[in-house]
C-alpha cells in the first residue's frame, strides 16, 4: 500500500471493533492521526489498548446515534471511515430493533455531518445486501434478493442496503465524496465468536476439545477474507479519488463449505473434537433463513486500486488460532 495517503486525520466510527482496530493500526502506520469513536457495545477497549499511549491516537467512547459527540468528531477529521454497525448473525436475530436503529440512524447522522463540511466518507457495507441471490460470484451491479420481512435475518441486509442508498443519494444530490465497500466474511485476530462469527467459534471449540457445531447441513459455503487484506481494500478505496460514488466488493478468494471448514480447523488445531450438525431453528429460531453461497467478484476493486487478497483460508485459521492461544 502506498504511503502517500491524502488525509492527515481520520475518524473511524466503530474504531474499537475488530476491523476498526486493525484499520486504526494501518492508518497510524501511514502517519495519520486517528480518532476511534465507539460505544463499546460490541467493540472493546482491549482491541485498541496498545494504541492508547500513541499521541496520534484518540479513543472517544460515544455512539453514532449521539449527535453532539459525533458532530465534534466529524468536524475535527479530514475523512471518515464509517464502520459502526450492529454486527454478527446472533445479535441481528436477537436484537432486530437495535440492528435497524443503529445501522440506519447512525449512518444518517454520519452522512449529514460529513455533508455539512464536505468530508470524504468510506461506508463499510456487507455482502449480506445480496441476500439470496443465486448468481455466483456476486457482482456490484447484480440485483439483490431479500427474504420475507417476517424473517429477522434480512433486517440487517435491508438496513445496510438503505445505508448504501442514502450514501449514494448524498453523492448525487449533495456532491458528498463517498465510497462504499461491501465486506465479505472478514476474519482475523481480535474477532470473537460471541455474535456468531464462525471461524473464531470453531477454533475456540477445537481448543477446548468441544464439538464443533455446524449449523444447518454444513453444505452452505463462504469465502473468507483476512482482516489485513480487508484493511488494504478500505485504505485503498478511501485514498483513491476516482472511487467516489461507487460500490466495491472487498473480500477473499477460495470458497469453502462449513463442513469443510470445520474439518480444516480440527486439522490445523490438532484437535480431537467431533463435528455436530445443529438445525438452524435450534441455533437461532424457526424463522431463520441462511444464504447458501457467498462469493465475491473482485474484478471491479482490482481494476480500481489493484486490490488482491494475499492470505488464504489456512493462514486465516493459523492467525486466529495464534490469537486465541495468546488470549487464553
* Residue at 321 is within a domain: no
Given a cut of 50, whether residue 1 has pLDDT beyond it is: no
Given a cut of 60, whether residue 3 has pLDDT beyond it is: no
* Residue at 181 is within a domain: yes
Rounded CA separation 170/172 (Å): 6
**Is the Cα dihedral 17, 23, 29, 30 positive or negative?**
negative
Dump strand ranges (E) for the chain. 9-13, 33-38, 57-61, 79-82, 121-126, 178-183, 186-187, 212-215, 221-223, 225-226, 247-250, 255-257, 275-278
Structural domain range at position 16: 9-185+225-252+293-310
Contact 51, 45 (CB under 8 A): no
Place of cell 465534534: 72
Q: What is the CATH number of the domain that holds 149?
A: 3.40.50.720
User: Which residues are designated catalytic?
Assistant: 156
* Residue at 215 is within a domain: no
Domain count, the chain: 1
Given a cut of 90, whether residue 285 has pLDDT beyond it is: no
Residue closest to 164 by CA, chosen among 130, 196, 133, 135: 130
Given a cut of 80, whether residue 89 has pLDDT beyond it is: no
* Residue at 286 is within a domain: no
* Residue at 144 is within a domain: yes
Query: What pTM was estimated for this model as a whole?
Result: 0.95
Q: What is the mean pLDDT of the chain?
A: 93
* Residue at 285 is within a domain: no
* Residue at 1 is within a domain: no
Amino acid at each position: 500500500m502506498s504511503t502517500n495517503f491524502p488525509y492527515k486525520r481520520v475518524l473511524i466510527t466503530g474504531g474499537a471493533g475488530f476491523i476498526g482496530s486493525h484499520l486504526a493500526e494501518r492508518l497510524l502506520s501511514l502517519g495519520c492521526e486517528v480518532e476511534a469513536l465507539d460505544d463499546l457495545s460490541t467493540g472493546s477497549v482491549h482491541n485498541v489498548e496498545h494504541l492508547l499511549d500513541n499521541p496520534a491516537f484518540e479513543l472517544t467512547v460515544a455512539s453514532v446515534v449521539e449527535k453532539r459527540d459525533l458532530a465534534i468528531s466529524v468536524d475535527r477529521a479530514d475523512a471518515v471511515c464509517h464502520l459502526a454497525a450492529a454486527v454478527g448473525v446472533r445479535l441481528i436475530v436477537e436484537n432486530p430493533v437495535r440492528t435497524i436503529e443503529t445501522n440506519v440512524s447512525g449512518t444518517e447522522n454520519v452522512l449529514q455531518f460529513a455533508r455539512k463540511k464536505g468530508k470524504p466518507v468510506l461506508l463499510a457495507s456487507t455482502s449480506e445486501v445480496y441476500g439470496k441471490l443465486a448468481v455466483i460470484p456476486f457482482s456490484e451491479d447484480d440485483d439483490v434478493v431479500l427474504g420475507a420481512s417476517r424473517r429477522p435475518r434480512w433486517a440487517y441486509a435491508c438496513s445496510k442496503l438503505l445505508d448504501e442508498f442514502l450514501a449514494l443519494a448524498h453523492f448525487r444530490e449533495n456532491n458528498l465524496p463517498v465510497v462504499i465497500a461491501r465486506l465479505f466474511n472478514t476474519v482475523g485476530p481480535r474477532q470473537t465468536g460471541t455474535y456468531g462469527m464462525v471461524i473464531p467459534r470453531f477454533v475456540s471449540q477445537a481448543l477446548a476439545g468441544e464439538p464443533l457445531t455446524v449449523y444447518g447441513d454444513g453444505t452452505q459455503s463462504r469465502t473468507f477474507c483476512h482482516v489485513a487484506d480487508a484493511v488494504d481494500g478500505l485504505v485503498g478505496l478511501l485514498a483513491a479519488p476516482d472511487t467516489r460514488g461507487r460500490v466495491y466488493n472487498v473480500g477473499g478468494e477460495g470458497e469453502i463449505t462449513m463442513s469443510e471448514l470445520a474439518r480444516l480447523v480440527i486439522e490445523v488445531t490438532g484437535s480431537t473434537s467431533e463435528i455436530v450438525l445443529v438445525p438452524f431453528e435450534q441455533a437461532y429460531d424457526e424463522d431463520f433463513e441462511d444464504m447458501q453461497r457467498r462469493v465475491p467478484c473482485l474484478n471491479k476493486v482490482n481494476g480500481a486500486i489493484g486490490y488482491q487478497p494475499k492470505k488464504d483460508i489456512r493462514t486465516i485459521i493459523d492467525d486466529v488460532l495464534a490469537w486465541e492461544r495468546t488470549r487464553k
